[in-house]
Amino acid sequence: MSFRTPPLLLIALLPLALAAPVARGQDAPRAAQPAPQAAQPEAPRDPPREAGTPPAKATDAAPAQAAPDATPADAATPETAPEVAASDDPDAVENAATKVPLDEIRRYVGLFNAIRLGYVDPVDDRKLMDSAIRGLLLDLDPHSAYLEKNAAEAFDEGTTGAYDGIGVEVLQLPDGKMRIIAPIDDTPAAKAGIRAGDVIVSVDGRPLGASDAEGAGPLRGPPGSQVTLGVLREGEAAPLAIVVHRETIRVASVRGRMLEPGYGYVRLSAFQVETAADFTRTLERLQKDAGGTLKGLVIDLRSNPGGLLTSAVQVADDLLDKGRIVSTRGRNPVNDTEFNATPGDLLRGAPVVAIVDAGSASAAEVLAGALRDNDRARIVGSRTFGKGSVQTVMPLGNGDAVKLTTARYYTPSGRSIQARGIDPDVVLTPDRAEAKPVAGVPGYTEATLPGHLRGDEEQEGFAAGDVLDGDGPITAALAELKKPRPIAAKAPAAAAAKRD
């Protein structure tokens, strides 16, 4: 099935090197994005993190004035162009947006020199400058980050799904601790019992600090090596000591099987470069096993931390004949884009149910929102994480990179999922008989992260979703799949927005 790729997003930036991490994954593959290209818009392979960096016009001098005795006949003295109001002068508007704040730069240089000369111990100039660069992103949202060369390379590994570590998606906290967004299926972390919502506070007995945000991080290491994690978990009086053996993580992001004759099940654990193609192959295999046509499909997005936007878009496109899939909007209009479905539903209209929980984030929320807003699937489970922002990755000349939040996602109905998440049509709760009390982690949501972007529909004090484990949600989804579908006319997008 053909896929219509969107135009490349271009980002207009200040002519300074930007950076500084507040939150960063140290082990797992992320929503990795391709290196930006300073070129005309073209079709990207990966999600909207492409960014050109056109030079900004930073003019801080006053317009040239004619000499007091100059006359129109004085050919040697150029005439001054008449002043134009900023609102009528495109260059003036651009200059105002890109002008370097010289007073602040002077203040910074003065402080830089004061520290170099007056600090009690000698300070390396490069180290001091690196610290200043990181500070540029310190007060932004938790997903904007400065990635040193090793970290940038590790970040890009998410597109292939192969790296050496324990297999978790983490959020770096300002104090150096790491919050688990989700363990990746069939990895050492998942097998050792690491859970979404856990907070890693120490590695091999050493408490984590801010310096652990640098480089590849303490969770990475040679295959076969052992690491002991100190883990804070809701419901436990003291940190847990969990031993994990590192491996080369080759994440299979798509798995499928038949639940019973005619009904298929596909587990999507992340969105990587090959996820969409693997989804198509898995779906074709399940249809063959079903005798040519499936009666229905369960898509499991639980604890799926997201990944490549275009992979999620392609999966949605496989199940939709038409309609909008997702749009992005930023402060700069060049970050606005829209993804639409192309004709061809691989399931030929067979019903779909998607399972989500508190660990379903970003691209997983994009897929769930696209299927529901287009009346293509019903959503069961628990409220999702609520990460509705787009990060653009911009490489720097020294191999480092900056990950900067540049836009928000919007579902086909025009709703932002930022700090709100997606509420399921059918709410499921953890089975406390077989799950430990930690399954539902209070506050495990984008809305509780320090410095998060304010969401359009964010509500103070709303309840976070639950992490749903086990086969119970799959059984509930299958039951929902078998329910007769109403023959009512398709609801308009505006009405669909009221279901949450």
Question: Where do the structural domains in the chain lie, given as residue ranges?
Answer: 254-499
CA–CA distance, 10 with 148 (Å, rounded to integer): 23
**Structure tokens that stand for 232 in this block:** 């804070």
Q: Could you tell me which of 182, 193, 197 has the C-alpha nearest to residue 229?
A: 193
What Å distances lie between residue 434 and 153, 192, 239, 471, CA to CA? 40, 17, 22, 11
Set 357, 387, 389, 403: catalytic member: 387
What Å distances lie between residue 248 and 225, 268, 479, CA to CA? 11, 20, 38
Structural contact between residues 330 and 336, judged by C-beta atoms closer than 8 angstroms = yes
Structural contact between residues 149 and 399, judged by C-beta atoms closer than 8 angstroms = yes
Architecture of the 254-499 domain: Alpha-Beta Complex (3.90)
329-336: list long-range contacts, CB under 8 Å, 24+ apart.
Answer: 329/407, 329/408, 329/410, 330/390, 330/406, 330/407, 330/408, 331/406, 332/11, 332/12, 332/406, 334/9, 334/10, 334/11, 334/12, 335/9, 335/11, 335/48, 335/390, 335/392, 335/406, 335/407, 336/407
**Structure tokens that stand for 43 in this block:** 């079709």
**Structure tokens that stand for 176 in this block:** 């150096």
Report the Cα 161 to chain-centroid distance in Å.
Answer: 16
CA–CA distance, 120 with 429 (Å, rounded to integer): 56
Question: Does the annotation count 373 as an active-site position?
Answer: yes
96-105: list long-range contacts, CB under 8 Å, 24+ apart.
Answer: 97/12, 97/56, 98/12, 98/14, 98/15, 98/56, 98/57, 98/58, 99/58, 99/59, 99/60, 100/14, 100/15, 100/16, 100/58, 100/60, 102/60
Question: Does the annotation count 362 as an active-site position?
Answer: yes
Set 46, 164, 185, 373: catalytic member: 373
Question: Does the annotation count 269 as an active-site position?
Answer: no
pLDDT attached to residue 59: 28
Tens digit of pLDDT at every position of the chain (500 positions): 433 333 333 233 222 233 333 333 344 433 333 333 333 333 333 333 333 333 332 223 323 333 333 333 333 333 444 444 444 444 544 455 567 789 999 999 999 999 999 999 999 998 898 888 888 888 899 999 888 887 787 777 766 667 889 988 888 888 889 999 888 888 999 999 999 889 999 999 999 987 776 656 789 889 999 999 999 998 898 999 999 999 988 778 999 999 999 999 999 999 988 999 999 999 999 999 999 999 999 999 999 999 889 999 999 999 999 999 999 999 999 899 999 999 999 999 999 999 999 999 999 999 999 999 999 999 999 999 999 999 888 998 888 899 999 999 999 999 999 989 999 999 999 976 544 433 334 456 898 888 899 888 887 767 788 999 999 999 999 999 999 876 544 434 433 333 33
Set 362, 382, 389, 416: catalytic member: 362
pTM greater than the 0.75 cutoff = no
Structural contact between residues 117 and 128, judged by C-beta atoms closer than 8 angstroms = no
